Amino acid sequence: MVRIAAVLVALLVAAPALAQPVKLPAGADPQNTIVMDTTKGRVVIKLRADLAPQHAARIKQLSRDGFYNNVPFHRVIDGFMAQTGDGQRGDGTGGSKYPNLPAEFSQVPFKRGIVGMARAQSPNSANSQFFIMFADGAFLNGKYTVIGEVISGMDHVDKIKRGEPVANPDRIVKMQVAADVH
CATH of the domain at 164: 2.40.100.10
* Total domains in the fold of the chain: 1
In a domain, 81, yes or no: yes
In a domain, 24, yes or no: no
The pLDDT, as a whole number, for residue 75 is 98
In a domain, 114, yes or no: yes
In a domain, 23, yes or no: no
In a domain, 25, yes or no: no
Domain limits at 75? Answer: 2-18+30-180
Cα 151 vs. chain centroid, distance in angstroms?
Answer: 13
In a domain, 76, yes or no: yes
Reply yes or no on whether the pLDDT at 88 is more than 50: yes
Reply yes or no on whether the pLDDT at 182 is more than 90: no
Mean pLDDT of the chain: 91
Q: How confident is the model at residue 24 (pLDDT cuts 50, 70, 90)?
A: confident
Q: How confident is the model at residue 9 (pLDDT cuts 50, 70, 90)?
A: very low
The pLDDT, as a whole number, for residue 181 is 93
In a domain, 162, yes or no: yes
In a domain, 37, yes or no: yes
Arithmetic mean of pLDDT, 15-35: 77
The pLDDT, as a whole number, for residue 27 is 80
